[in-house]
Structure 1
Amino acid sequence: MTESTLPGGHHRRTITGFSNPLVKFLRSLRDKKHRKREKRFLAEGLRLLTDARESGILPEMLVMAIGRDPHPLLDALESEVVASGGDIVEMDVEILAKVTGKDNPQAVAGVFTEFDTRLIDLDRDASPIWLVAQALRDPGNLGTMLRTGDAVGAGGLILLDDCADPFSVEAVRASMGAIFTQKIAIARWDEFQDWLRGGDGQLVAASLRDPTDYRQAAYAAPCFLMVGNESQGLPASYETACDLRVTIPMLGRADSLNAAVAGAVLAYEALAHLRQG
């Protein structure tokens, strides 16, 4: 490894060996327990990191492949990371593949500080729509819900009980940059109920328990749209605690939609109603 200190006190390193301790550290961020210990997460790809930069969030460490193709967005990213005092790391593409877990990694990745996920820090009046997921286990679905939230202008995504880690490489990748635009809160059901009932907010569940057709429902802002676990749905007690239960008609053989897809359908329908109202 070669290393130099640049103006501002940050470092530029070039790594050519798989056994380098920094490579081991970066690889460890693919594991949840290490992410939680370090309070750091990985994001990969120029588009994702550009979305972060345009949202005012820069990586504390920028990792790039040696021999990468030049790109003005990458130049801008590197310049801003250097200006902010971040570290620059270059490594062979084969080593970067080990870091990201992908055989064909993109030419750049970043190490970010995990965001504050306390429920109490959310401003419920920041948006008319919020997404809520209970026990969502698939990081791809979680990332898709973040992407949906960004698309509909939601305030963020509230994760209840034992959900997948929103800072996993898979969830971050699936979010397509929405991890940097959407607020994320993590809470238990009881904590969420206490917070929600402490102010304005309509809790709406996708449910089959005495539901209203999702197109006929009376949505009210701020509207919290909740979907449940991919295989089991929402617990009955959670459904009965909701202000409104809605159903999406199934016209074919399938008895339900994918959880993330259901959240997207409900979000756009609620948004349309709220705009009309």
Structure 2
Amino acid sequence: MKRIESLQNSLIKNILKLQEKSRERKKQGLFVVEGKREIELARKGSYKIASLLFVNSMIQDEYLDQFDSSELIEITQEIYQKIAYRESTEGVIALVEIKDHQLSNLEFSNNNPLILVAESIEKPGNIGALLRTADAANLDAVIIANPKADLYNPNVVRSSVGCVFTNQIAIGSSEEVINFLQEKGIAIYSATLQNSNEYTEEDYKGATALVVGTEATGLTQVWRDQATQNINIPMEGEIDSMNVSVAAAILLFEAKRQRKN
């Protein structure tokens, strides 16, 4: 088993790069996961652990027994405090291999999948919240169209509380996603104020994609034009939009409610 005691170690420096720079994550095909729950969810989601760094005094041997010895690297508490992203520490950090998120990799276990499409979401915290909502609704897939933030940004992993690993996720341009949905016979319901019906008026029992955009500008025109139907959530206050994850939750759980009846 390896042991690292120096902050100047090349692996430690590389972990800091991976945490800070999207281009390094993409170049190396690796990202950083911190915490027992998140690491366990990554393993359950069939992500491959490249290395597991741990502080011996903070981790029980029984936890380490589930990993191959070649994956384990002991580090000092000083090093852990340097590379730990969260204040509440558990003494364990993993380097994990990035998955391929092509649309062609999506697999559905039934003929009427329920899918969330999120277009051009910029804030990692909003992406994380959307993934938590998708997990809560047990969706068949989440598709990110025209991505503006790295899926493996530490803030996405953290704010999703590991749901980045529990969802089936695909990424593509809006045009690619629309073509994919139309080829699969999946109805597109775009959340927008323009030319739309109230969301409760539509039937989501068949194969359905619910599409949400940014709070600032909403969905691009292509989603409005190609939708099976545009839908809206009636707003009764002074503003005309709400947090994207809240809007997604309202739409998704209406679809879930209909499918139970």
- TM-score normalised by structure 1 residue count: 0.86
Q: AA paired with 1:36?
A: K
The correspondence for 2:236, drawn from 237, 251, 261, is 251
Q: AA paired with 1:26?
A: I
Rounded to whole Å, the distance in 2 between the matches of 1:75 and 1:57 is 21
Structure 1 residues 104 and 153: alpha-carbon distance in aligned structure 2, compared to 1, 3 A threshold? closer
Alignment of 1:1-277 (within 5 A): 12-30=1-19, 31-68=21-58, 70=60, 75-76=62-63, 78-82=64-68, 86-124=70-108, 126=110, 128-276=113-261
The answer as to whether partners of 1:202 and 1:220 remain within 8 angstroms in 2 is no
The answer as to whether partners of 2:117 and 2:209 remain within 8 angstroms in 1 is yes
Gaps of 5+ in 1: 1-11
Q: SS of the residue aligned with 1:60?
A: strand
The alpha carbon displacement at 1:202 in A equals: 0.9
The alpha carbon displacement at 1:61 in A equals: 1.0
The alpha carbon displacement at 1:55 in A equals: 4.1
Q: AA paired with 1:187?
A: G
Matched residue count = 259
Higher deviation after alignment, 124-133 or 266-275: 124-133
Rounded to whole Å, the distance in 1 between the matches of 2:172 and 2:70 is 31
Structure 1 residues 246 and 226: alpha-carbon distance in aligned structure 2, compared to 1, 3 A threshold? same
Q: SS of the residue aligned with 1:17?
A: coil
The alpha carbon displacement at 1:262 in A equals: 0.9
Percentage of matched positions with identical amino acids: 28
The answer as to whether partners of 1:62 and 1:88 remain within 8 angstroms in 2 is yes
Q: Deviations for 1:115-141, whole angstroms, at most 9, x for unmatched residues?
A: 110101112455621111110001111
The alpha carbon displacement at 1:23 in A equals: 0.1
- TM-score normalised by structure 2 residue count: 0.91
Q: SS of the residue aligned with 1:43?
A: strand
